[in-house]
Amino acid sequence: MNSLQKLTELFDRLWADYSSINPQAHAIHELFEARGEKVLNDHVAFRTYNDSRINLESMAKAFKKYGYVEKDTYHFEEKKLLAKYYQHENASLPKVFISELLMENFSPDVQKDIKELVNQMDPKSVESDSFCTMGRPWKVDFETYDRLATASEYAGWMAAFGFRANHFTVDFNHLKTFKSLQELNELLKSKGFKLNASGGEIKGTPAECLEQSSTLAAQVDWEFSDGTHNIPACYYEFAKRHPMKNGELYPGFIAASADKIFESTDRVR
């Protein structure tokens, strides 16, 4: 199996897992296809902690092994995150966006909770190409999740869901039946989907060469070690890229916009 086949298989597994816990993504995908669209992915995003055993660089290894190249780095001071995005020379493959929580910027109690989760992992599991698809590799009770989520919604989400796609992103530029991202958003709202309105439903502008919107993460019944609780899971994003002065579509991300997109998994509505 060549690199393209391995990556395609990996993204297929990621989508199957992601859409199984985020049925709204599957429903929106079908909604677009019913309009005659072929839905392509702009990027797939992952989250982790910057514990050296499972950090951003650890997650990137499998993608880099099969041809992905690091392109840019982003800092999110308010949310205490660092992120990088990676791109493959094969344009049919989505970009990969990986972020990590900067644990040292949180209290000793938060750091202790996170380390106790990571300590439960089999160190060898990180070496597998399937690292980013393993789901949650530790046991966590709801009290720990809630404590982490209170300190950082991101930290809580990671504790609950582990290693899987946090979101897929529709490549708006390959859609044929929408004139604007606003038109797409209006269709979604008319079908009952809730959008992330933090910073406006559309983040970014044509002048910045990137516009983005996203659904709010759907609430799911999720199993913890001490019972099942209803929490926000994953969301679906939409990205419209505009040409730069050289005529090429802007390939990167806008930190201020991504900062608001992260809030799609917040518990407070």
DSSP alpha helices (H): ranges in 152-216?
153-161, 181-190
For residue 3, the model assigns a pLDDT of: 86
> Which domains occur in the chain, in start order?
3-265 (3.10.180.50)
* Nearest-10 crossing angle of helices 23-34, 3-21: 110
For residue 149, the model assigns a pLDDT of: 97
For residue 170, the model assigns a pLDDT of: 98
Instruction: Please write the tens of the pLDDT for every residue from 161-215.
Output: 999 999 999 999 999 999 999 999 999 999 999 999 999 999 999 999 999 999 9
Instruction: Please write the tens of the pLDDT for every residue from 97-136.
Output: 999 999 999 999 999 999 999 999 998 899 888 899 999 9
Buried b / exposed e along 92-123 (16+ C-beta atoms within 10 A): ebbbbbbbbbbbeebeeebeebbeebbeebee
Residues 6+ apart with CB under 8 A from 133: 10, 13, 14, 17, 163, 164
The CA-based diameter of the chain, rounded to the nearest angstrom, is 56
Assigned token pair, 27: 């429903």
In this prediction, residue 36 has a pLDDT band, given cuts at 50, 70 and 90, of very high
Global confidence as pTM: 0.96
Radius of gyration over every alpha carbon of the chain, rounded to an integer in angstroms: 18
Nearest 5 degrees, angle CA 7-CA 9-CA 12?
110
Q: How far apart are CA 56 and CA 60, in angstroms?
A: 6
DSSP alpha helices (H): ranges in 121-200?
142-151, 153-161, 181-190
Instruction: Please write the tens of the pLDDT for every residue from 46-77.
Output: 999 999 999 999 999 999 999 999 999 999 99
Q: Are strands 69-76 and 81-87 parallel, antiparallel or unpaired?
A: antiparallel
For residue 202, the model assigns a pLDDT of: 97
Instruction: Please write the tens of the pLDDT for every residue from 131-151.
Output: 999 999 999 999 999 999 999
CB 250 within 8 A of CB 206: no
Mean pLDDT over each residue of the chain, to the nearest integer: 96
Q: How far apart are CA 18 and CA 200, in angstroms?
A: 25
DSSP lists the bridge partners of residue 220 as 231
**Cα dihedral 195, 200, 203, 207 sign:** positive
For residue 4, the model assigns a pLDDT of: 87
Chain centre distance of CA 167: 4
C-alpha dihedral, 171 to 174 to 176 to 179, nearest 10°: 50
The whole-number average pLDDT for the span 238-252 is 96
Question: Is the pLDDT reported for residue 269 higher than 60?
Answer: no
